[in-house]
Amino acid sequence: MSHVSKPGLSESNSVELLKQLEAYDFLLEQLQAGFSAGFYQLSRANYHNKDTIRGRYGSDYWDQTFKGTQFITAQGPKLARLPESQVLEILESEDESSSESDEKDEVLRKRKEGQSSERKKAGLKKRLPDPLLMFGGALSIPSSLRQCQSSFKGSIESVIELANCRRRIEELISNTQD
């Protein structure tokens, strides 16, 4: 009876796989903690909002005209979050393409303002719209809802790292099976 040697993991690949599995487990715990904190803060915001007309913060409360401000891109084999400047460009290009007729009406209404308004626009720094503003003015938003938003925004980075770590694990496993 002869033993046929099967290709398996080398020692260095085994160590690398264990490191990636450890990182994956840590990232899962981090993601769970971020989501748990986010949903806890959301439940607090809903509790404090229970006496209002709408009641709970949910999908029936959303402004459907709002556009997302967090984008992820695949750069080669890795995922990464788009920088704020590129997100602003994307949102501006979508706004320009959808509102060409509105722009013509706007020019006719504001033709007396002239060049002073153009200077003001150039001087202002562009910022991403805050999604929380759809739930009321800047002062009427509960702090627990702001904390909820920061918890979920912080979890985006964990999701990206988790996906990248999973890709590395799958790559290590597929290299051993070849």
* Tens-place pLDDT, residues 20-67: 999 999 999 999 999 999 999 988 888 877 766 667 776 666 666 666
What is the average pLDDT value for the chain, to the nearest integer? 77
Whole-model pTM: value is 0.67
User: Range of 94's domain?
Assistant: 82-128
Report the alpha-carbon distance of residue 24 to residue 41 in Å, rounded.
26
Report the alpha-carbon distance of residue 80 to residue 156 in Å, rounded.
10
Same domain for 148 and 112: no
Q: Read off φ and ψ for residue 7, nearest 5 degrees.
A: -70, 130
Same domain for 122 and 86: yes
Per-residue confidence at 175, pLDDT binned at 50, 70, 90?
A: confident
Same domain for 114 and 87: yes
Same domain for 152 and 107: no
Same domain for 120 and 160: no
Same domain for 46 and 20: yes
